[in-house]
Chain A
Amino acid sequence: MFAHTEVGFHEVEMEENLWSISIDPDESMREYVLLQLKVRAMRDMLFRSRIFNYLAAATPGLKELVTIGKIWELAQLDRKVKSGRKYDLVIVDAPATGHGIGFLQTPRTFAAIARVGPIHSQAQQLDRLITDQEHTGVAIVALPEEMPVNESATLERDLLDDVGVAVDRVYMNGIYPERFTNEEAEQLAGFADESDNGLRAAARAGLSEHNRARSQRAQLARLRRRVEAPVKTLPFLFEPDLGIEGARQLARKVG
């Protein structure tokens, strides 16, 4: 979306005051170990060792845990990573529903399994970060369709009850504009028997837009009834590919 093509496991400046990083679990694990172990020879030996890689892959939830650990690290004003920037806000593009709840519960689950050792207290610390309603909040993104609306309502319930994280806002994404009134739509419906293919197709596209806009508004009303957090809408952009301009347009609406 931005001019940069590659965003890897390092912070890249995209725009003024805006950095981006793609968090890779294996890299997070590596960084975590580097921060834990001060002796260089020991780290090298560890990374070369197959058994370590096996254990890291085999331990349930460890990848998710170090991923959340990296998010925590990014959000610290006192960064563990040397020369790390201080951020006012860290925005996480989280895994899709279904994966989402489990992901956020990992620290708690892990703290329960590893009852002792450094990771126990670190996992607890991460859980506190997630459930700190003053500083951490979830924004749910929904689409104006039946099932996404149902799932968003369930997701909000689970986030509040099971995870204990604050849900600050629900975004209804991709809302079509209301381009035609009902009377105009009726006029367009009269083109169904039109012999000119171009006119008929144009009228049909208009009718389709009107129908979608209308059914989306019904879904928006359902969403508003079913969630507690305030709902904000984002417009559907009729752009074949969303670029930086599209992002700027949406940015003006998210606030």
Chain B
Amino acid sequence: MPAVGEILEGKDICICAGSGGVGKTTTSAAIATGMAARGLKVCVLTIDPAKRLADSLGLKELGNEARQVDPALFGQQGVEIKGELWAMMLDAKATFDELVARQAPDEEARDRVLNNRIYQQISSALAGSQEYMAMEKLFELHSEGRFDLLVLDTPPSRNALDFLDAPKRLTQFIEGRSLRVFMKPTGLAAKVAGRGASVALSVFKRIVGFDLLADLAEFFNAFSGMVDGFQARAKRVNSLLGDPHTCFLVVCGPQGEPVDEAVYFHRKLVEAKLPFGGVIVNKVHYPAEQLRGGGGDLEASLAEKLGDEDLAKRVADNFADYQALAERDARNIERLAKELRAQGVIRVPYLDEDVHDLAGLAEINRYLFATSEERIEIAAGRA
């Protein structure tokens, strides 16, 4: 079972993916910190506006430009950063605007798109546009070559496909091939395309109101000169994701549902021929049998040591509760390991204190960058 350091050996890009609420942002920050500590110049990118990354790195706020994290802050936690750690929060809308500005043939064409209300909607709200812009920014930073490693904290997708399909879905929307035909003022194409289409169009007009269609028509017209540029760019972004120097890490929790999603995500990555690096399971209750030596009547031994039967019973009951959760986690992780043919499942234990600052990241890193034997030792309090 390799540690994160080995998995990321020789990689330029690390994409942390997974559903929401599994500690993805924290994991991304911890990985970036660990790699920077090893001497690389690392930039961690997030798209989550909830300020999670900024909070955990001790930064007041993050913008669409990378900012360096003060190495002295890590020194205070006993972590020496041999390289550099940078962080930024992607602004999907601003990134999209920049992309339009770059692709537009002239200023007038650019402004027509930027001022269009449909564009303003999709650039901030269309499903997939955040995901796509995250990849776009990644592509841009990678092309500039300023960093040794880029770590991406992906937006919390409802499912894996939302992220992987984002470039395709967005370019399909922008192409609007099937739609643009019907937008022609003559409506001749609509007649040619058949009665079904024209009925559909007129019903749609009735449902959403004519303005919306006019706005859509204007949007596609304004965009028409840029479609080719967008397509070419999306193709290059896609091939960057599939590059052997890119690595996808799936982040999940130990409960049944997050594990199911991790299995599903892994399958999708393999199907899409994208480079899978491993799964990080957060908040794992460590299996009690790994922490236990001899058997015997625990409650009686406790009572003898503590000299308090009531306390001994409570300690034993609490231990049984903890073990039940540990056994559940072990079952789920075993299922996960089986599905992945035991490649790279990294377990991070459920720590007593919740992780939200540099001290917490340093603690998490002891597990992410340790071998599996070391991890058990740390969890057992022996290291």
B311 and A187 form a contact (CB under 8 A)? yes
Does B211 belong to the interface (CB within 8 Å)? yes
A204 and B52 form a contact (CB under 8 A)? no
B20 and A198 form a contact (CB under 8 A)? no
Q: Compute how far the CA of A37 lies from the CA of B311 in the bound complex, rounded to whole angstroms.
A: 69
Given A55-B204, A116-B210, A118-B207, decide whether A197 and B294 contact each other with a Cβ distance below 8 A.
yes
Q: Compute how far the CA of A200 lies from the CA of B288 in the bound complex, rounded to whole angstroms.
A: 11
Q: Compute how far the CA of A192 lies from the CA of B156 in the bound complex, rounded to whole angstroms.
A: 40
Q: Compute how far the CA of A46 lies from the CA of B325 in the bound complex, rounded to whole angstroms.
A: 51
A51 and B292 form a contact (CB under 8 A)? no
Does A76 belong to the interface (CB within 8 Å)? no
A60 and B118 form a contact (CB under 8 A)? yes
A241 and B122 form a contact (CB under 8 A)? no
Closest beta carbon of chain A to B368's beta carbon, Å: 19
Which A residues are CB-close (under 8 A) to B212?
A: 59, 113-114
Q: Compute how far the CA of A215 lies from the CA of B351 in the bound complex, rounded to whole angstroms.
A: 12
A117 and B325 form a contact (CB under 8 A)? no
A58 and B176 form a contact (CB under 8 A)? yes
A46 and B203 form a contact (CB under 8 A)? yes
Interface size on B, residues (CB 8 A): 75
Closest beta carbon of chain A to B273's beta carbon, Å: 26
Does A136 belong to the interface (CB within 8 Å)? no
A113 and B211 form a contact (CB under 8 A)? yes
Q: Which of A94-148 contact B (CB under 8 A)?
A: 95-99, 102, 109, 113-120, 145-147
Does B48 belong to the interface (CB within 8 Å)? yes
Does B75 belong to the interface (CB within 8 Å)? no
Given A59-B212, A113-B212, decide whether A98 and B50 contact each other with a Cβ distance below 8 A.
yes
B325 and A206 form a contact (CB under 8 A)? no
Does B301 belong to the interface (CB within 8 Å)? yes
B209 and A42 form a contact (CB under 8 A)? no
Which chain B residue shows the least CB distance to A240?
A: B328
Given A96-B21, A97-B50, decide whether A202 and B316 contact each other with a Cβ distance below 8 A.
yes
B314 and A50 form a contact (CB under 8 A)? no
Which chain A residue shows the least CB distance to B207?
A: A119
Does A208 belong to the interface (CB within 8 Å)? yes
Given A197-B291, A204-B291, decide whether A117 and B315 contact each other with a Cβ distance below 8 A.
no
Closest beta carbon of chain A to B347's beta carbon, Å: 16
Given A113-B215, A211-B353, decide whether A201 and B319 contact each other with a Cβ distance below 8 A.
yes
Q: Which of B89-144 contact A (CB under 8 A)?
A: 117-118, 121-122, 125-127
Does B216 belong to the interface (CB within 8 Å)? yes
Indicate the member of A102, A201, A203 with the most B CB atoms within 10 Å.
Answer: A201
Q: Compute how far the CA of A198 lies from the CA of B155 in the bound complex, rounded to whole angstroms.
A: 42
Given A154-B50, A192-B381, decide whether A96 and B20 contact each other with a Cβ distance below 8 A.
yes
| Secondary structure call for the A interface | helix
B288 and A201 form a contact (CB under 8 A)? yes
Set A95, A120, A201: member contacting B292, Cβ < 8 A: A201
Closest beta carbon of chain A to B41's beta carbon, Å: 27
Which A residues are CB-close (under 8 A) to B203?
A: 33, 37, 42, 46, 52
Q: Compute how far the CA of A61 lies from the CA of B178 in the bound complex, rounded to whole angstroms.
A: 20
Does B305 belong to the interface (CB within 8 Å)? yes
Closest beta carbon of chain A to B68's beta carbon, Å: 23
Which chain A residue shows the least CB distance to B311?
A: A184
Q: Compute how far the CA of A203 lies from the CA of B319 in the bound complex, rounded to whole angstroms.
A: 8
Closest beta carbon of chain B to A222's beta carbon, Å: 12
A45 and B199 form a contact (CB under 8 A)? yes
Give B291-312 as 1s and 0s: 1 = Cβ < 8 Å from A's Cβ atoms: 1111110100110011000010
| Secondary structure call for the B interface | helix
B381 and A199 form a contact (CB under 8 A)? no
B121 and A60 form a contact (CB under 8 A)? yes
Given A96-B20, A116-B210, A188-B315, decide whether A60 and B196 contact each other with a Cβ distance below 8 A.
no
Indicate the member of A95, A146, A219 with the most B CB atoms within 10 Å.
Answer: A146
Which chain A residue shows the least CB distance to B119?
A: A60
Q: Which of A179-213 contact B (CB under 8 A)?
A: 179-180, 184, 187-188, 191-192, 194, 196-209, 211-212
Does B11 belong to the interface (CB within 8 Å)? no
Does A36 belong to the interface (CB within 8 Å)? yes
Q: Compute how far the CA of A104 lies from the CA of B313 in the bound complex, rounded to whole angstroms.
A: 49
A212 and B50 form a contact (CB under 8 A)? no
Which B residues are CB-close (under 8 A) to A63?
A: 127
Which A residues are CB-close (under 8 A) to B126?
A: 60
Set A60, A198, A204: member contacting B122, Cβ < 8 A: A60
Closest beta carbon of chain A to B202's beta carbon, Å: 10
Give A138-173 as 1s and 0s: 1 = Cβ < 8 Å from B's Cβ atoms: 000000011100110010000000000000000000
Closest beta carbon of chain A to B309's beta carbon, Å: 13
Does B39 belong to the interface (CB within 8 Å)? no
Q: Which of A201-249 contact B (CB under 8 A)?
A: 201-209, 211-212, 215, 219, 238-241
CB pairs A–B below 8 angstroms (23 shown): A45-B200, A50-B178, A51-B178, A52-B204, A61-B121, A98-B20, A113-B117, A113-B211, A113-B212, A117-B205, A120-B209, A154-B50, A179-B314, A194-B305, A198-B298, A199-B301, A200-B291, A202-B298, A204-B381, A205-B319, A206-B315, A207-B352, A240-B325
User: Sorted from nearest, which 9 A-B pairs have the closest CB atoms?
Assistant: A117-B209, A197-B293, A240-B328, A114-B209, A60-B121, A238-B321, A146-B356, A49-B200, A52-B200
Excluding A98-B155, A117-B207, A146-B354, 11 further A-B contacts by CB distance (< 8 Å) are A46-B199, A116-B209, A147-B52, A187-B306, A198-B298, A200-B291, A201-B380, A202-B316, A204-B381, A206-B315, A240-B325
Q: Contact residues of A with B, CB < 8 Å?
A: 33, 36-37, 42, 45-46, 48-52, 54-56, 58-63, 95-99, 102, 109, 113-120, 145-147, 150-151, 154, 179-180, 184, 187-188, 191-192, 194, 196-209, 211-212, 215, 219, 238-241
